[in-house]
Structure 1
Amino acid sequence: MKKWSVLCLMGTALVLISWGFKGHRAVATIAQKHLTSNTAYVVSAYLKGESMSDVATWADENRNPKTAPWHFLNLPLGLTHDAFVKAVTESDNNVYTAILKTEAQLKDQSLDADQKNEALKYLIHLVGDAHQPMHVSRKEDKGGNTIQLRFDNKGTNLHSLWDSKLIDHENLNEVDIAKNYDTATPAQIKQWQADSPMEWIWESYQVSSELYAQVKPGQDIDEAYYQKYIPVIRKRVDQAGIRLAGELNRLFNSAKAPAVSVAAVPAAIPATTPAVVIAVKLEDTKNAIGKTVSTQGKVYSTKDIKSMVLVNLGAAYPNQLLTVALKGKAKTLQLEGKTITVEGEVVDYQGKPEIVVTDPAKIKF
């Protein structure tokens, strides 16, 4: 059976860095916003406290010859959808099969936390790769890398143009990129998360096919080109983030987080079982990860993100000493400006202590 070949030369693979630094971090940031509470905790545990955006480019920085082909897929142009699916199904060691492999690893109960940490970092990155059109493109021009162009009075190539140059032209910082790109409606979120990875790369293939037809070597990319395609880039980054969240929610929404090691717990916090409630000062909750505690603090700000209400104690976001995530019946509590006592297990969420509360009785004021 014939298999479509993929680029496997290490020197080629090293330049295939999809979406660049800003784009990959935007994908991860958007995904983070759409995780369920339990998924967010499991992800944080497997990433050992690092944020998804912090590890979004790890797979590019980790120069591994064995996984270099995972970032892309090369196929001839002109395939119908059926022919495309057949070709992808017959291929291996590429972005599509790597996504399936890493998801399988994250489901594998025999793998340890370190192995799942690596698989998760790859998955976060590869979903972004799958949505960069020039990562599903032709072998003969190395994914557009040999098609030289000019943009913003500088030399570039078709691949780099779509990796980062068009995004950089917007002159937005990372925070604004994630905010401005994350515009999916509830209907779009539902549809995008229902699509399979095969459809993600089919979409990229369709866009890259159009891009090849739109440029000639040496062409000066003008403002009209930018205005035409920046909405496409915004959509692809948003789709990648929304779909990454969907995949992670399916993997981890009902999963139990691995044990998180607790370092430097103060002597005032005894090493007891989580069933025992320990009274701690608000500022010490950061040292009580994995413990069930009771603590008191003033509510400085709250934010309703639909799936939960985030309550910031000790200071307003992002300087809070503890975040309380209200879910279920607890979401109805009105806590703004009040001093409350909260009871629950402390978890690490992106380097900050957090307690999830579903029972209103766990909060007193």
Structure 2
Amino acid sequence: MKILFYLTIFPYISFGWGEKGHHIIVQIAKKHINKNIQDSVNKYLDDITWENASTWMDNIRRIPEYAFLKNWHYINIEQNMPYDSIKTGADNIYVQLQLTINRLKNKNILTKKQITYNLKILFHLIGDFHQPLHVGYGIDRGGNDVKIDFLGKHSNLHAIWDADIIEQTNISFELVNTLTNKKKYALSLKKSDINLMHWMIQTRKLLNFVYHFTNPINYSYINKSKSIIQHQLALAGIRLAIILNTIFS
């Protein structure tokens, strides 16, 4: 299948899932790996919690020495364009997540500091990768240019999917964890395949719903979005567990 990626040159500020969403993802992952693998990860994180590791990439975004990471949070692929191979070394989430996983698979040639660094990137990018607008369209900068009235607040489409809906609907670890007990998530974990292209295409299919809204945003849209977000957080957590199992087994 030929795939053509159109990557825009326009950067944008985006914080996929916000702090709460990223925390939920790593908490889900931790529930689905055994203690030996948890201990291996903890050895490299030292005194850094999984939660803090998951938001490190957002917390350092305004530090000049880390400016090169800013484009790693997303990829822009225009609507109705066919998919194509992505150039090695491109500054987008698809390429950098794959490179990070590959580096960690070969962790025996890395220093402890390098492994810690790559784990922090993995923890964050796997979350962003499951936020539909982080694999969205460059023409509106991943929804950042789509102005929204969200419950009386001026916002944009990207922002409400990053954090506003999570906060407004009280999405929690407990709610998302309940989902992961369902058969389809157990099957995902059992398959243990890491297929970033398949995962990205799955997430992009959600864009049809994401853009199907009235403005101001109504509660019907918010409630449907809540279900999708919980599903995406659960998938991201399960898939992070799959990756960690592969790296540290």
Q: TM-score, normalised by structure 2?
A: 0.88
Q: What percentage of aligned pairs have identical amino acids?
A: 29
Q: Which residue of 2 aligns with 1:250?
A: 246
**Does residue 10 of structure 2 align to residue 5 of structure 1?**
no
Q: TM-score, normalised by structure 1?
A: 0.61
Structure 1 unmatched runs, 5+: 254-365
Structure 2 unmatched runs, 5+: none
Q: Is the 8 A contact 2:142 2:158 kept in 1?
A: yes
Q: 1:191 aligns with which of 188, 191, 196?
A: 188
Alignment of 1:189-228 (within 5 A): 189-191=186-188, 193-194=192-193, 196-212=195-211, 214-215=212-213, 219-228=215-224
C-alpha distance in 2 between matches for 1:98 and 1:240: 16
Q: Is the 8 A contact 2:77 2:136 kept in 1?
A: yes
C-alpha distance in 1 between matches for 2:130 and 2:5: 22
Q: State the secondary structure of the residue aligned to 2:234.
A: helix
Q: State the secondary structure of the residue aligned to 1:150.
A: strand
Q: Which residue of 2 aligns with 1:97?
A: 95
Q: How much has 1:107 moved relative to structure 2?
A: 2.5
Q: Which residue of 2 aligns with 1:349?
A: none
Superposed CA offset, 1:307-349 (max 9, x none) = xxxxxxxxxxxxxxxxxxxxxxxxxxxxxxxxxxxxxxxxxxx
Superposed CA offset, 1:260-280 (max 9, x none) = xxxxxxxxxxxxxxxxxxxxx
Amino acid in the other structure paired with 1:98: Q
C-alpha distance in 2 between matches for 1:203 and 1:91: 23
Q: 1:238 aligns with which of 219, 230, 234?
A: 234
Structure with the greater alpha carbon radius of gyration:
1
C-alpha distance in 2 between matches for 1:7 and 1:137: 14
Q: Which residue of 1 aligns with 2:76?
A: 74
More helix by share: 2
Q: Is the 8 A contact 2:133 2:207 kept in 1?
A: yes
Q: Is the 8 A contact 1:8 1:69 kept in 2?
A: no
Q: Is the 8 A contact 1:77 1:209 kept in 2?
A: no
Moved over 4 A (4+): 87-91
C-alpha distance in 1 between matches for 2:59 and 2:118: 15
For residues 230 and 7 of structure 1, do their structure 2 counterparts lie closer, same or farther at Cα, with a shift above 3 Å needed? farther
Q: Is the 8 A contact 2:135 2:204 kept in 1?
A: yes
Amino acid in the other structure paired with 1:142: R
**Does residue 163 of structure 2 align to residue 164 of structure 1?**
yes
For residues 62 and 8 of structure 1, do their structure 2 counterparts lie closer, same or farther at Cα, with a shift above 3 Å needed? farther
Q: Is the 8 A contact 2:88 2:95 kept in 1?
A: no
